[in-house]
A = this chain, B = another copy of it.
Amino acid sequence: MKKIAIIFHSAHGHTEFIARQVQQGAREVEGIEAELVRAEDLRRTPEALLDHDAYILGSPTYLGGVSGPFKSFMDATGGLWAGQRLRGRLAAGFTVSSLPAGDKQSTLLSMFVFAMQHGLVWVGNPILPEQHRGVPYDEAANRLGSWSGLMAQAGHASAPDAFVPGDLKTARLFGRHVAQSLQRWHGPERVEIDRLGSESAAPVAEAAS
């Protein structure tokens, strides 16, 4: 059984709702457990990340980046970073905002940079926008056009579940894709990958500030 942690922050429920769709998609894949974890909780117990094989990061986009609570969770992983203890696992990301573009790409890029610092391998959202094949816009997978990760758009001041069918479909496909990629990454006779540049186990202190 391979385990995915879907780590999210959600102030008003929208991001959590999308997280649940991603979870549902991941659970469609045999041999995969997918658990929802609140970033605020994980901030206090970052070592719990060691129990998972892949991480799907989810945050609303606030002013072009992840939310403050989500960033505080990220910062809490500094000790794991210093020992590169998550190295070689998988990561992916998603974000939610009230606009079609809405600077969501910069949020996904910041999740990617974080994942790279931890030595994770990044899986995207490889879906050709279905409206280009005649599917109605609101029902189309990847209708917003995002490959680095999943984007979803919540209507302004809307209910937490007020997403169009296309975004729900995309979220489930995305969750399934990450889960399948994880299965593939853990093929039964996989090559062990070296731990580079970290022969010494001594943890180093975090970056200056």
Contact = CB atoms under 8 A, between A and B. Distances in A.
A66 B62 contact: no
A202 B197 CA distance: 41
A64 B117 CA distance: 8
A209 B73 CA distance: 17
Contacts of A106: 105, 109-110, 113
Contact of A180 (B66, B98, B194): B194
Given A124-B116, A146-B101, A193 B180 contact: yes
Chain A's interface size range is 35 or more
The 9 closest A-B pairs by CB, nearest first: A187-B187, A99-B145, A119-B126, A60-B209, A68-B72, A154-B208, A64-B113, A100-B100, A127-B197
Interface of A: 9-12, 14-15, 60-69, 71-75, 77-78, 81-82, 84, 87-88, 96-106, 109-110, 112-114, 116-133, 141-148, 151, 154-158, 173, 176-177, 180-181, 183-194, 196-198, 200, 202, 204-209
